Structure 1
Amino acid sequence: MDKLIKILPPPEFPQKTGDKEQWGKFFGALGTELPTDYVKFIEIYGTGGIDNFLWILTPFVNDENVNYLGRQKEMTDSYIQSKKNFPQYYKHDVYPSSGGILPWAYTDNGDELHWLTDGKPDEWKIVVYESRSPENYTYSLTMVEFLYQIITKELICNAFPDDFPSDETTFVSVNVE
């Protein structure tokens, strides 16, 4: 997390970071805990996105664009429909199936970022599905490692456009209800 903070400064006043009780209620509603680095990221950065392009889902807002449970249901339902129509292309199951995918972010282009829920949450891999495509990429990285490597351009994800991330990447804090 420290390496990420150096290259992606958090907002001075992060929005909707949650407290211990709120996290407990959220995990209960979701049916699982999430990776530790995701929780830490939300606690430090709050609600928002990277370069006005990659939006992190958060449990503590009602806004339909970034509300974790609402957007997770929408993304999962869409994936299930795509898998039903094109099973040869959509190979993953969805959470709560063991090893199913569980979303944590999306891009303005419609690319979806998921965890592959195999093993304990801190062991989950990252799966990125390209927008309007069955193309997907799996990374044996945590969320924060993935973000760090994307921002530093150590990792190039073919799902993302050439102009992301920008040369001066910023976290855009969003104050929504």
Structure 2
Amino acid sequence: MDTLDSLVHLCPPPVGKHARPGSVSGAGAGGTKLTLPLSHARLLETYGPGSFNDFLWIYEQGCPNPWLDITQRSRETTQLLSRKQIPEIRSLLSHFGSNPSLLIQWGATDNADEIFWIPEGDPEEWPTLIVEAGQLSFQIVRQNSLELLLGLLEGTLDCPFFPEEFLTHPPAFERWTGDQCDDD
């Protein structure tokens, strides 16, 4: 069983395929062309953009909702981070030959924690950077979005600044379908 199968088994997706499966290529945060990880495209084909446990939001490239669009969210967030004094995060990113303006935001939480890829090397091996709201703390995870979500939902991956309530209920996903998320 691959990671997507394990995630589907743990947290069944909404009924039916997502109508606008996430593109694996398009404009990046700085307007440059980028390729998204195929694992994230598979995630979106199965689940679509929306939220896990009404807390952790997953973004899609080209989503009509600007709050769930990878390109829009990345552009706005990286512009803000680029102007902030975040020496620990900048130091971490420099180890990857990166900086805040190159990050790609693929998710967030209701607490305003942000989830980014550090685009270096093979997209399937891009590290994930989880930044606590207010840039108070951060965590680097060397897993793709599917592996990260499965680990968080199984409880095998701990993010110290995610609330315990995130895992108090069985995993559930709500897909954004227009103006709202639907419980399918």
Does TM, scored on the shorter chain, surpass 0.5? yes
- Counterpart of 2:96 in structure 1 is none
- Counterpart of 1:158 in structure 2 is 160
Aligned residue for 1:106, secondary structure, equals strand
Match 2:14 to one of 11, 15, 25: 11
- Counterpart of 1:28 in structure 2 is 26
- Using the TM superposition, give the Cα deviation of residue 14 of structure 1 relative to its aligned residue in structure 2, in angstroms: 4.4
Change in Cα spacing, 1:155 to 1:28, as seen in structure 2 (3 Å) is closer
Whichever residue aligns with residue 49 of structure 1, its letter is S
Give the Cα–Cα distance (whole angstroms) in 2 for the partners of residues 173 and 53 of structure 1.
12
Give the Cα–Cα distance (whole angstroms) in 2 for the partners of residues 113 and 157 of structure 1.
11
- Are the equivalent residues in 2 in contact too, given 1:18–1:43 (CA < 8 A)? yes
User: Is the counterpart of residue 88 in structure 1 residue 87 in structure 2?
Assistant: yes
- Using the TM superposition, give the Cα deviation of residue 162 of structure 1 relative to its aligned residue in structure 2, in angstroms: 1.2
- Counterpart of 2:169 in structure 1 is 167
Give the Cα–Cα distance (whole angstroms) in 2 for the partners of residues 95 and 79 of structure 1.
7
- Counterpart of 1:113 in structure 2 is 115
Aligned residue for 1:149, secondary structure, equals helix
Aligned residue for 1:90, secondary structure, equals helix
Task: Tell me the number of residue pairs that the alignment of Structure 1 and Structure 2 aligns.
Answer: 165
- Using the TM superposition, give the Cα deviation of residue 71 of structure 1 relative to its aligned residue in structure 2, in angstroms: 1.3
Give the Cα–Cα distance (whole angstroms) in 2 for the partners of residues 89 and 134 of structure 1.
10
Match 2:131 to one of 120, 129, 132: 129
Whichever residue aligns with residue 94 of structure 1, its letter is P
Structure 1 alignment gaps of length 5 or more:
none
- Counterpart of 1:72 in structure 2 is 74
Aligned residue for 1:164, secondary structure, equals helix
Q: Which runs of 4+ in 1 moved over 6 A?
A: none
- Using the TM superposition, give the Cα deviation of residue 95 of structure 1 relative to its aligned residue in structure 2, in angstroms: 5.1
- Are the equivalent residues in 1 in contact too, given 2:104–2:116 (CA < 8 A)? yes
Q: TM-score, normalised by structure 1?
A: 0.85
Structure 2 alignment gaps of length 5 or more:
94-98, 180-184
